[in-house]
């Protein structure tokens, strides 16, 4: 079985590219599945692979401790990108172990689309599209409201766009980002106030544009980049409408 597992490790990237063509080598064998799943405990404290777990987290924390799936929360759990219940042979393969946040780990669960092959974006092997597809819509009416949405681009193939949509759906990212955006704006209201009082619409417009460009360094489709792009394009918000943030809770 050792040879079969080493072969499976060699195939890992092929499985990521088109999971529809592969089944687990443990498929149909409860005994083998149980043995391979049991390997995961080797990563526990005091067990032989404890160092592997620690070094995966150390590497993640030294680069960017944000969860790669939501780009928001701190990493604290190890996700099996290909779920160990579907592919137990990858239960201790370092390439398959990705530090994520508690929320994403829980929501992703055993998600593994073997029918349509729409996998989420793998932090080590995939690049999230760098063409603008995430948009925030800001409405300044009685209250300030924010809605996120995805829009396809001619520059992104349909399969990739479907994967993005699936990731957003499984992780509930539209609602999550909306809540985060509310918290972000509420935190920044004094900055908007002071900028507007000193420099007027154009001052606030350029400050929001600078915040958008700063956030875009994390990726053009980072939720904060989409938020600030939308705010900097919203004339009503920039001409004092932001004060409605204070007046009434947003939804």
Using CB under 5 A, list all residues that contact Zn ion: 67, 69-70, 73, 101, 104
Q: How far is the CB of 12 from Zn ion (least distance, A)?
A: 23
At 150 the three-state DSSP class reads strand
Burial class of residue 250 in the structure, from the number of CB atoms within 10 Å of its CB (0-12 exposed, 13-18 middle, 19+ buried) = middle
CB of 210 to Zn ion, least distance (A): 27
Strand locations in 7-150 (E): 77-80, 97-100, 134-140, 144-150
**Quick check: 161 and 131 in contact, CB under 8 A?**
no
Length of the chain as a residue count = 251
Cβ-based nearer residue to Zn ion, 49 or 170: 170
Which C-beta is closer to Zn ion: that of 70 or that of 97?
70
- Inter-residue contact 108 to 171 (CB < 8 Å): yes
Which residue lies nearer to Zn ion by CB, 42 or 170? 170
Distance (Å, whole) CA 218 – CA 200: 28
Among residues 55 and 74, whose Cβ is nearest to Zn ion?
74
Q: Are 202 and 239 in contact (CB under 8 A)?
A: no
Closest approach of Zn ion to the CB of residue 31, in Å: 35
Taking the complex as a whole, how short is the minimal distance between the CB of residue 167 and Zn ion, in angstroms? 11
Cα radius of gyration rounded to whole Å, the chain: 22
CB of 176 to Zn ion, least distance (A): 9
Of 82 and 231, which has the nearer Cβ to Zn ion? 82
């Amino acid at each position: 079985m050792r040879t079969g597992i080493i072969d499976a490790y060699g195939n890992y990237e092929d499985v990521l590219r088109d999971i529809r063509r592969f089944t687990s080598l443990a498929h149909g064998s409860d005994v083998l599945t149980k043995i391979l799943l049991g390997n995961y405990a080797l990563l526990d404290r005091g067990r032989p692979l404890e160092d592997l777990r620690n070094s995966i987290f150390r590497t993640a924390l030294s680069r960017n401790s944000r969860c790669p799936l939501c780009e928001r929360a701190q990493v604290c759990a190890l996700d099996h990108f290909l779920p160990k219940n579907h592919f137990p042979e990858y239960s201790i393969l370092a390439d398959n172990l990705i530090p994520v946040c508690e929320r994403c780990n829980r929501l992703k669960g055993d998600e593994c689309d073997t029918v349509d092959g729409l996998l989420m974006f793998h932090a080590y092997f995939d690049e999230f599209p760098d063409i603008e597809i995430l948009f925030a819509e800001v409405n300044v009416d009685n209250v300030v409201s924010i809605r996120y949405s995805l829009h396809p681009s001619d520059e992104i193939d349909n399969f990739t766009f479907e994967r993005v949509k699936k990731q957003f759906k499984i992780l509930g990212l539209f609602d999550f980002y909306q809540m985060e955006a509310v918290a972000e704006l509420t935190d920044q209201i004094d900055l908007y106030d002071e900028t507007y009082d000193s420099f007027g619409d154009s001052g606030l417009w350029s400050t929001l544009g600078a915040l958008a460009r700063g956030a875009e360094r994390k990726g053009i489709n980072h939720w904060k980049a989409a938020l600030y792009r939308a705010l900097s394009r919203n004339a009503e918000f920039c001409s004092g409408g932001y004060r409605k943030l204070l007046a009434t809770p947003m939804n």
